[in-house]
Each structure stands twice: as structure tokens, then as C-alpha cells.
Amino acid sequence: MSTLESTDPTTDEWVDIRMTDLEEGEWELDAVVVDGRMEHVDLRVREDLVASFVECLADDLSRNQRAALLDRLSEAGADGPDAAAAPDTADATED
């Protein structure tokens, strides 16, 4: 159970994430407000910390939620942006 969930029992359909013991420069959060409304939020994480950041997020998920997320990520990975960047092996057989 996440720390936030244990202090806020109104989390029916939400996954609560609380980052603790952060060091300066690990991540940046920018919220853009236009005309008094939230336009968007940008979260930047240092590239070398992305894996540990995702692990921290996953720690706050249930076992079923983690499994569903991993399934979704592996499905996206098969057809995701990296697949388009992979070399085309069909061209490798040309003489």
C-alpha cells in the first residue's frame, strides 16, 4: 500500500504515487495554467533515473495492476516507436 493511499482513503479508481527522499535535480515538474485552468503538466526525469523512477511508480501498484501494465508495455513495444527505427531486414538481402 502506498503512503498516500494509507493517508487518503478516497482512492477508488486512482493510483496514488508519492515520491519521497528526492534529491535536487532528479526530476522537474512544470504545471502550465492558462486562464485559471490546468493546461498540462510536464514531468521530466533524468534519463539515467528513468528505470528507478518507473520502479518507484510500480511499487505503488497492486500485483494485478503491475502485470496489466507490463502486458500493455510489451504490446506497445512490439509495434512502438523503436520498431519503426529498427533496420529493415528485407533490404539486407538485396544484391
Task: Give me the phi and psi of 3, to 5 degrees please.
Answer: -60, -45
Residue written as grid cell 518507473: 54
Contact present, 44 and 81 (Cβ < 8 Å)? no
**Residue 36, in any domain of the structure:** yes
Task: Give me the phi and psi of 91, to 5 degrees please.
Answer: -75, -20
**What pLDDT score was predicted for residue 27?**
80
**Residue 86, in any domain of the structure:** no
**Residue 92, in any domain of the structure:** no
**Residue 56, in any domain of the structure:** yes
**Residue 77, in any domain of the structure:** no
**Residue 37, in any domain of the structure:** yes
**pLDDT digits over 7-47, tens only?**
555 556 777 777 777 777 788 888 899 999 989 988 888 88
d(CA 70, CA 2): 19
**Residue 95, in any domain of the structure:** no
Full domain range(s) for residue 10: 3-68
The total domain count for the chain is 1
Contact present, 45 and 27 (Cβ < 8 Å)? yes
pLDDT band at 80 (very low <50, low <70, confident <90, very high): low
